[in-house]
């Protein structure tokens, strides 16, 4: 396993629509393991493959808190097949947009269909933080960031700040 570099805003890679994984091979499992290690190292509770520059429909999640044993969830080609009408608001953040947080309203409960690490088809009913996290990560697979769900004013301010920082980092000292 290896910790990979996390792609940050405003890298256009984050806008890519990820492609489905055709076959769950050892390479795919190795990539999922790298994603998990990268997420734990950050630390974060969810990571999509596109955030390490690989636009494939792969997600890792672990919402266990510090007192609980690790509980990694591997999702290959996840898709939401049902949403509740009831919504929930969470303050979200993203490893690709460090130190930015914003309240996002999403369906409170979702049912997600995916393949697990072994390639087995699965379905899982999710609520609470897990439901929010899964929706946030699936958005990544479609090139959508949580700041795209905030007001245009707030989103533009964040993009501007990161664009400026990236430009400054490129300029010679
Ligand atoms: Ni994110």
What burial letters (b/e) apply to 129-168, b meaning 16+ CB within 10 Å?
A: ebbbbbbbbbbbbebbbbbebbeeeebeebbeebeeeeee
What burial letters (b/e) apply to 76-113, b meaning 16+ CB within 10 Å?
A: bbbebeeeeeeebebebbbbbbeebebebebbbbbbbe
1 band by pLDDT with thresholds 50, 70 and 90: confident
Between CA 165 and CA 132 the distance in angstroms is 29
pLDDT at residue 66, rounded to an integer: 86
Q: What is the pLDDT of residues 63-98, one digit of tens each?
A: 999 899 999 999 999 999 999 999 999 999 999 999
| Cα 122 to ligand 1 centroid, rounded to whole Å | 23
Q: What is the pLDDT of residues 37-62, one digit of tens each?
A: 999 999 999 999 999 999 999 999 99
Catalytic member of 99, 127, 137, 171? 137
Q: Which two tokens stand for residue 173?
A: 């000292």
Annotation marks residue 137 as catalytic: yes
Question: Does the pLDDT at position 4 exceed 80?
Answer: yes
| Cα 95 to ligand 1 centroid, rounded to whole Å | 6
Instruction: Tally Cβ neighbours within 10 Å of residue 60.
Output: 26
List of domains in the chain: 12-170 (3.90.45.10)
| Cα 5 to ligand 1 centroid, rounded to whole Å | 14
| Cα 111 to ligand 1 centroid, rounded to whole Å | 20
Average pLDDT of span 6-22: 97
Question: Does the pLDDT at position 173 exceed 70?
Answer: no
Based on DSSP, count helices (H) and strands (E) in the chain, helices before strands.
Answer: 3, 7
Between CA 125 and CA 119 the distance in angstroms is 19
% of the chain at pLDDT higher than 70: 99
Average pLDDT of span 157-165: 96
Between CA 171 and CA 173 the distance in angstroms is 6
Between CA 140 and CA 6 the distance in angstroms is 13
Average pLDDT of span 94-109: 97
User: In the predicted model, what is the mean pLDDT of the chain?
Assistant: 96
| Cα 138 to ligand 1 centroid, rounded to whole Å | 9
Between CA 115 and CA 79 the distance in angstroms is 10
With the C-alpha atoms ordered 12, 61, 38, 43, is the resulting torsion angle positive or negative? Answer: positive
Between CA 47 and CA 59 the distance in angstroms is 6
pLDDT at residue 116, rounded to an integer: 98
| Cα 136 to ligand 1 centroid, rounded to whole Å | 6
């Amino acid at each position: 396993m290896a910790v990979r570099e996390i792609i940050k805003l405003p890298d256009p890679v984050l806008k890519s629509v990820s492609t489905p994984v055709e076959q769950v091979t050892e390479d795919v499992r190795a990539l999922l393991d790298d994603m998990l290690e990268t997420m734990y190292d950050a630390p974060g509770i969810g990571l999509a493959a596109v955030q390490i520059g690989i636009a494939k429909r792969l997600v890792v999640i672990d919402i266990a808190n510090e007192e609980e044993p690790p509980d990694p969830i591997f999702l290959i080609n996840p898709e939401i097949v049902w949403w509740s009408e009831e919504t929930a608001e969470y303050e979200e953040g993203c490893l690709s947009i460090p130190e930015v947080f914003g309240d996002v309203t999403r369906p409170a409960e979702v049912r997600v269909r995916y393949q697990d690490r072994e390639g087995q088809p699965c379905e899982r009913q999710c609520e609470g933080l897990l439901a929010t996290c899964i929706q946030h990560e699936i958005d990544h697979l479609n090139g959508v960031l949580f700041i795209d769900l905030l007001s245009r004013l707030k989103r533009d301010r964040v993009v501007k700040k990161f664009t400026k920082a990236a430009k400054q980092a490129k300029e010679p000292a």
